[in-house]
Amino acid sequence: MQFETSQVFAGMDMADLLVAHLEQLGIDYVFGIPGGAIEPLYNAIARHQRKGGRLSHIVARHEAGAAFMADGYARETGKIGVCVSTSGPGATNIVTAAATAYSNNVPMLIITGQPALSSFGKHGLQDSTCAGIDVMGMFRHCTRYNSLVSHPMQLESKLLSALQHALRSPGGPVHLSVPVDVFRAQHEPVGSVYDLDSILRPTALIDLEGTDRLHDMLSHSHKVVVVVGAGCAKAMGEILRLVDILDATFVVTPDGKGLVSPQHPRYRGVFGFAGHAAAEAALLEQDVDVILAVGTSMGEWNTGGWSEALLNDRLVHVDESAEHLARSPMARFRMRGELSLVFRRLISLIEESSAMRFAGFERNSVSNVHSGRGGEQLDYLEAPLAYTSDATPIKPQRLMNELGRILPIGTRFLADAGNSVAWATHYLQPYDRRAGGAVELTGDRRHSRGGWLRQTTHFAPMGWAIGAAIGTAAANPGAPVVCITGDGSMLMSGQEFSVAVAELLCVVFVVLNDAALGMVKHGQRLGGGEQIAYALPRTDFAMLARSLGGRAYTVHSPAELAALDFNAICTYPGPTLLDVHIDPDEVPPIGSRMRVLLEECQ
């Protein structure tokens, strides 16, 4: 559908035009912090709201927090996340979050302000142009598109180019930097407004010849193990259907764990950082002749430190990103394509084949499939006794057990960098205690790309989950959101807690309090390094949360955790913080990371 510009945009300035395009995209929130150079955009949002528009804003406490919120919003909705800042330090504060989104292929539109064009090169306040502190140069290395809008008539075309780069594979953050006088320039209606839905609609991509070859390869295989990566979100139904048809088993990468239920009978655990020995064993079984890796970037995090258990000549790699495929040159076969289309065609080819048999076993047979997790499947876990321990202080393994057991189905868990993500990846196992069986926790595959467990890989900053949890809750207020973070991350970025207070967002912040930078402490011990620079002062995070206007509880034991009313916590109109004093001596499952670090030192 097209709109006549004269009817929609008459009397608007360029900032109004930008807001109108965001409205057409169905964006709910812009996350950011106001400032002089970006003020015209906030004025346009205010005018838009007075007219009954849907686009609103959420004010962060730090620009990196705003971008992390946009990251969480994008993962929850499948839309593009939008964050804004003023020029200079406002823009540079976003760079780390942009790099995080870049490494994790999260679509994000970053809009930064600039001084007026006439002041370029005059050493103005917070000048971040090419004549000052060049933020364009900084963003060049961590965005998919990066441009200065140096004339009002460039804004619309550059916006469309940026959005296309953000949303199409491999996807990621894009950056537009707009001088304040360009924002204030009057928009003169000419022609028609672009129909963004049609322009940004993903291009269907399928390699028919390659899919036929893959079908032939699978049809002559004896045993297949599928590796499910983070890129599989919108194709999980088709992938699991193929797993059943092939009588295969599957493992997940750490960032793919949240896409399926850990109780699925064909699930064999997490392969990669903080993964399970059972997953590696599944890949190493002698009769496995095809390892089908799907939607995974093949970085250190999701290959177990480039383990040969995965990276060998049995590997078949299917992905939408050519960048990801470039990291598996040893694979027997690699193919690029839209995953849902590829797997639908594979299923169709198999079902069209008469009397389909796969080298010694009949399709849809489940006779030699393990019965599944059997409740908790403690044999997957590195420390099963700690997982059920009643000790005080509470074991972090037991904490993950309880969170998975207590929180309702549909909870979004976000695990922060450091020990938090290691504990969650290995031990967090949510299940539907009401149904008592396996439940597919894929969410709405048409929109959400996050699954029930969300994390950052490759470029993993402390504090990401704090902002991302707030963005997730803003995007979907009806879903419980739990941020699992450490005391180091909370001291670094915990001020964003007050954003959840101001916006009445129900987020449960679970702080693993061990008075240390835990990953540093345990990494030094495991690697034989000096014990230095890891200790933190004992902090009362519950008191801090209350001082910011939220609710909080201090937890030392499993009994104290069980005594909390989680029904009330998950329906409270605002954030709740659990200051959990964990056993500081429990060693997180970080073996693959330590192996890489020690090998690099040799």
* Coil, helix or strand at residue 251: strand
Average pLDDT over residues 47-70: 97
Q: First CA to last CA across the chain, in angstroms?
A: 61
CA distance 71 to 81: 6
Confidence bin at 133 (pLDDT 50/70/90): confident
Give residue-wise pLDDT tens across range 63-79: 999 999 999 999 999 99
Place of tokens 């491999």: 170
Q: What pLDDT score does 375 carry? A: 38
Q: Please check the confidence at residue 559 and state whether its pLDDT lies above 70.
A: yes
Q: Please check the confidence at residue 446 and state whether its pLDDT lies above 70.
A: no
Q: What pLDDT score does 17 carry? A: 93
Q: Please check the confidence at residue 191 and state whether its pLDDT lies above 60.
A: no
**Which of the given ranges, 200-214, 439-453, 509-523, has the highest pLDDT on average?**
509-523
Q: Please check the confidence at residue 204 and state whether its pLDDT lies above 80.
A: no
Q: Please check the confidence at residue 599 and state whether its pLDDT lies above 90.
A: no
Q: What pLDDT score does 591 carry? A: 78
| Dihedral-angle region of residue 189 (phi above 0 means left; psi in -120 to 50 means alpha; beta otherwise) | beta
Q: What pLDDT score does 433 carry? A: 47
Write down all domains in the chain, each with its CATH number in brackets: 5-200 (3.40.50.970), 208-362 (3.40.50.1220), 381-600 (3.40.50.970)
- pTM for the model stands at 0.91
Burial class, 41, CB count within 10 angstroms (exposed 0-12 / middle 13-18 / buried 19+): buried
- Percent of the chain at pLDDT > 90 equals 76
Confidence bin at 461 (pLDDT 50/70/90): very high
Burial class, 284, CB count within 10 angstroms (exposed 0-12 / middle 13-18 / buried 19+): middle
State whether the Cα torsion 249-254-257-263 is positive or negative: positive
Residues 454, 482: contact at Cβ < 8 Å? no
Give residue-wise pLDDT tens across range 147-189: 999 999 999 999 999 999 999 888 999 999 999 999 999 876 5
Average pLDDT over residues 313-318: 97
Q: Please check the confidence at residue 18 and state whether its pLDDT lies above 90.
A: yes
